[in-house]
Amino acid sequence: MDTVHFSGYIEKLPSKAFSEISFKKFKRDIPTTYGIDDVSEFRYNDRLFFRRTVDGERVFLEYLPTDNPNFRIYRRQGQTASYYIENSKSGELKLLDERYKETLAEELDNPLVANLIALTNRNEFSLPYLLQNDHKVTKPRTFSKPISVVPFVGTGSGNVQIPIEFQNATVEQSMMLLTGGIGVEAFPNFRRNLSVSFMPYLAGLNSTGFHTMTVRPNEVFETNISLTWIGVQLPISARYYLDLKPQVLRLYAEVGYTLSMTLSQQSIQTGALVKPAEVRMDNRPVSIAEQHRGMVYGIGLDIIPLKAHVGIKSNSLTGQKIDSKITFINLQIGYRF
């Protein structure tokens, strides 16, 4: 049967430690069980299985497809899956055990993917990705994990526009900002130079300013405003990475959208309406919107040997329902896991 191909139906994946299959030519037929010596390969739901000898025993191994002509990756099912690399020319099959990174480095013998081997895990996604790069990479480049976690802290400065509703006016004053959070970044494309990041963080701002405004002829409103605000920022961004020096420095640019939600805010407003013959005090508190939304733009660097992440972001946020705005530039420093 090794030299004959049949089309039909396999009842289920191989039983008895992947050493036999149940096959029938037509759906209504009674299935026939074939042993490992009867079948050399088969397809089941777009998954390919090949007969191989492991530790002197013939078993079916699942082939994890790549277009690498020199090496193949196989998976053996069980309570814990095991993986093998096969040299296509010699046919030699090696188990990828706890020392799998050393085995991969010896077999591939390709310095261009040495850094990728260090990031490779024993699973059905990471191992085929390694073989694809071994086959296609022609010059040094930076490799990254498909998903990384980045805790970070930051500081920034900017302006906050505060509405003074009882005067039907707004004032703008400078602010200082402290931030801290933890984000997730995923690289969906093959080269892993495009990413989608979700970097939520807590932000606290403090702003104080003195303002004078003309209410009507001969009437001036003077006010001193102090505002403390704490909120959560929920930015989602797309990033493009460019190697400055492979595996050392990587530059990125990003654009995204963010939602800002207020957790708490406090204000002190000391105002005086000054008329020619009268001064009327007005200490009503002021506030900014509970929600702000807007665009985020940024550039940054990954310092790969240090696993450091440094970025500068420009945020321009507009309040919902209340005419307030927050614009700031934020410097963030993080560590990439």
DSSP state of 187: -
> How buried is residue 215: exposed, middle or buried, by Cβ count under 10 Å (0-12/13-18/19+)?
middle
Instruction: Calculate what percentage of the chain has a pLDDT beyond 90.
Output: 66
Give mean pLDDT, residues 162-186: 92
> How confident is residue 121, by pLDDT bands cut at 50, 70 and 90?
very high
pLDDT at 118 over 90: yes
The tokens describing 331, both together, are 């410097």
Between 31 and 269, the more confident residue is: 269
In a 3-state reduction of DSSP, which class is residue 192? coil
Whether 6 shows a pLDDT value over 80: the answer reads no
Q: Determine the Cα–Cα distance for residues 202 and 237; give it in Å rounded to an integer.
A: 17
pTM: 0.81
Q: How far apart are CA 64 and CA 212, in angstroms?
A: 71
- Measured in residues, the chain has a length of 337
Query: What is the fold of 147-335?
Result: Porin (2.40.160)
What are the pLDDT digits (tens) for 261-312?
999 999 999 988 898 888 888 888 899 999 999 999 999 999 999 999 999 9
Residue identified by tokens 């480049």 is: 141
pLDDT the model gives residue 31: 72
pLDDT of residue 198: 98
Confidence band of 166 (pLDDT split at 50, 70, 90): confident
Nearest Cα residue to 266 out of 283, 248, 285, 243: 285
CB distance 84 to 54 below 8 Å: yes
Q: Are 128 and 65 in contact (CB under 8 A)?
A: yes
Tens of pLDDT, residue by residue over 168-178, are: 888 999 999 99
CA terminus-to-terminus distance, the chain: 51
- Any idea where the domains of the chain sit in the sequence? 9-136, 147-335
For the chain, what is the mean pLDDT?
A: 89
- Shortest CA distance to 149 belongs to which of 120, 181, 179? 181
Q: Tell me: the pLDDT tens digits for 52-69?
A: 988 888 888 999 999 999
Mean pLDDT, residues 84-98 taken together: 93
For residue 96, give Cα distances in angstroms to 14, 136, 142. 22, 22, 24
DSSP structure string for 277-296: TEEEEE-------SEEEEEE
Which pLDDT value is given to residue 228? Answer: 95
Tell me the CB-side half-sphere exposure of residue 324, using CA atoms within 13 A: 22
